[in-house]
Amino acid sequence: MPMKIAPSEITICGRTYDEYIEMVKAFHGHVAPGMVLGGFLVDLAHQNLPKGEFFDAICETRACLPDAIQLLTPCTVGNGWLRIIDLGRFALSLFEKYTGDGVRVYVDSQKLNDWPELKAFLFKLKPKKEQDSEALIREINLAHTSIFGVQKVMVNLDAIKSSHRHTFTICPLCGEGYPKDDGDICLGCQGEAPYLSCATTGLQKTDTTTPVTKRLWGR
């Protein structure tokens, strides 16, 4: 068995374990096992950061880990410093944004044999309602960073460059602004909006003091 560290001795990017758990409750809604695991993963990446000034993040899963990155680093989806590239792997990279030089941390499946609850969780071996959350979080705490692997990576900066949408126009169907490159009408009106119905009646009134022509993108 790997060396055990009590949760009281664990720090996560400069916070105590309990401080981090409080942050998770406030931000994520509940203490998901993936958020505890994710906190340890971000901390290990942080400890292995190469030299440099500006770090961006890549998260390889949509589940939990993006929130741990957003809580513990300045990288968020909204500011563009966190990119989620959903490869379905519980792994992340932090890298210097101008050189691509970075560190990747991941769950090493070879190291999971001592941790049955954790293995069942990561490989979805049992339905969520049969999951013993307390036992699982206990295992995550005991395993701590011993189940992770660390790699040096060089990120392909061209491949992750976000497309900048320069020209916006007004959609003739919905009247909302959209990127001109998407076609004659917006992607929503092309059938890609995820709504079964969409009505504006009966809801909170918007500001009607500004003429409608001014409200449409200032025209």
Round to whole Å and give the CA distance between 178 and 169: 6
Round to whole Å and give the CA distance between 190 and 185: 7
Residue 199 C-beta: closest distance to Zn ion, Å: 15
Q: Indicate the residue among 158 and 192 with the shorter CB distance to Zn ion.
A: 192
173 token code pair = 């169907």
Residue 206 C-beta: closest distance to Zn ion, Å: 18
* Distances from the Cα of 142 to the Cα of 27, 40, 150, 161, angstroms: 24, 11, 19, 38
Residue 191 C-beta: closest distance to Zn ion, Å: 11
Q: Which amino acid is at 147?
A: I
Residue 216 C-beta: closest distance to Zn ion, Å: 12
DSSP state letters, 103-140: EEEEE-GGG-TT-HHHHHHHTT-S-GGG--HHHHHHHH
Interface with Zn ion by CB under 5 A: which residues? Answer: 171, 173-174, 186, 189
Q: Indicate the residue among 135 and 173 with the shorter CB distance to Zn ion.
A: 173
Round to whole Å and give the CA distance between 111 and 2: 10
Residue 115 C-beta: closest distance to Zn ion, Å: 50
Q: Indicate the residue among 35 and 171 with the shorter CB distance to Zn ion.
A: 171
Residues 6+ apart with CB under 8 A from 40: 10, 12, 140, 144, 145, 148
Q: Indicate the residue among 27 and 168 with the shorter CB distance to Zn ion.
A: 168
Residue 178 C-beta: closest distance to Zn ion, Å: 6
Q: Indicate the residue among 64 and 171 with the shorter CB distance to Zn ion.
A: 171
Q: Indicate the residue among 5 and 174 with the shorter CB distance to Zn ion.
A: 174
